[in-house]
């Protein structure tokens, strides 16, 4: 089983704030879009934060040393995602390379979620820079409470995105076990000079990526 604490480089008694800080630092360093980024490493970082950032899952992990319940749920949701993607491809009338079309749609959705996560991290940085701009002379600092509430909401959104990335990665792994088997593919490719032939295939990625089949 993976060592989630080791992945994030924190002690087993690390606070929630320390875990979040370690995740943000490592995510910034290892994001695949950055020079020297590592997609596999990023996947492990997302998995570690998804586990340790959830009190119930962290407690179960600390007690048993595994996160298998979550892994089974991820696999089940990934299976449902792949089935839904194949169904969408059939309904869209993909004319060739159905597996490639599905893989492209799933990969495009992954890129959208990664962009969403990057935007959320930018929001966190801005809010953290504004947190100490208002001081309370006495009593609770309502301004800081407001900022902290927004930061907590963003953390929840990031956690949901991380979960979705894990599901997508599991689905992409499943899709590697499939390949298209279309005996008419050569004839279809020969007719591809007519843009109308490729149109359903080309539009599938965009249509599927915005239809919600991945949820």
Q: What is the CATH classification number for the domain harbouring 17? A: 1.10.287.110
Which position has the higher pLDDT, 202 or 124?
A: 124
pLDDT at 13 (0 to 100): 92
**132 and 76 inside one domain:** yes
Of 212, 179, 189, residue with least CA distance to 95: 189
Q: How many domains does the chain have?
A: 2
User: For residues 87 and 106, what is the distance between their CA atoms, to the nearest angstrom?
Assistant: 13
User: For residues 36 and 51, what is the distance between their CA atoms, to the nearest angstrom?
Assistant: 25
pLDDT at 195 (0 to 100): 39
Evaluate if residue 29 carries a pLDDT over 90: no
Q: Tell me which of 40, 66, 92 is where a domain ends.
A: 66
Q: Packing angle between helix 195-209 and helix 98-130, nearest 10 degrees?
A: 40
**129 and 26 inside one domain:** no
Q: Tell me which of 66, 88, 106 is where a domain ends.
A: 66
**9 and 72 inside one domain:** no
Evaluate if residue 148 carries a pLDDT over 80: yes
**106 and 81 inside one domain:** yes
User: For residues 210 and 215, what is the distance between their CA atoms, to the nearest angstrom?
Assistant: 11
**32 and 81 inside one domain:** no
**73 and 52 inside one domain:** no
Of the given ranges (17-21, 39-43, 93-97, 176-180), which has the lowest mean pLDDT?
Answer: 93-97
Evaluate if residue 2 carries a pLDDT over 60: yes
In order of 41, 59, 120, 199, the CA distances from 24 in angstroms are 14, 22, 11, 41
pLDDT at 69 (0 to 100): 66
pLDDT at 33 (0 to 100): 72
In order of 24, 115, 123, 185, 207, the CA distances from 90 in angstroms are 40, 28, 39, 16, 13
pLDDT at 103 (0 to 100): 92
pTM for the structure as a whole: 0.61
**51 and 137 inside one domain:** no
> What domain range is 204 assigned to?
68-215
**121 and 132 inside one domain:** yes
Which position has the higher pLDDT, 63 or 164?
A: 164
**12 and 80 inside one domain:** no
- Give the confidence band of 137 by pLDDT, cuts at 50, 70, 90: very high
**61 and 81 inside one domain:** no
**131 and 203 inside one domain:** yes
Enumerate the H helices of the chain as residue ranges.
4-8, 16-30, 39-52, 55-64, 68-92, 98-130, 142-175, 185-190, 195-209
**74 and 57 inside one domain:** no
């Amino acid at each position: 089983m993976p060592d989630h604490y080791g992945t994030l480089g924190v002690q087993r008694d690390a606070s929630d704030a320390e875990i979040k800080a370690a995740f943000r630092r490592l995510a910034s360093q290892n994001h695949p879009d950055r020079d020297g980024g590592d997609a596999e490493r990023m996947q492990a970082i997302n998995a570690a934060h998804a586990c340790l950032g959830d009190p119930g899952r962290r407690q179960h992990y600390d007690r048993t040393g595994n996160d298998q319940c979550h892994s089974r749920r991820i696999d089940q949701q990934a299976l449902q995602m792949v089935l839904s993607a194949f169904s969408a491809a059939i309904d869209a009338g993909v004319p060739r390379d159905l597996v490639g079309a599905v893989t492209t749609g799933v990969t495009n959705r992954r890129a959208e979620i990664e962009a969403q996560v990057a935007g959320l991290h930018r929001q966190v940085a801005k809010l953290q820079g504004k947190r100490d701009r208002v001081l309370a002379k006495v009593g609770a600092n309502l301004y800081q409470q407001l900022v902290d509430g927004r930061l907590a909401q963003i953390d929840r959104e990031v956690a949901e995105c991380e979960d979705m990335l894990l599901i997508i990665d599991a689905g992409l792994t499943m899709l590697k076990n499939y390949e298209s088997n279309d005996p008419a593919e050569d004839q279809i490719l020969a007719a591809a000079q007519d843009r109308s032939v490729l149109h359903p295939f080309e539009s599938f990625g965009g249509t599927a990526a915005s239809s919600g089949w991945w949820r």
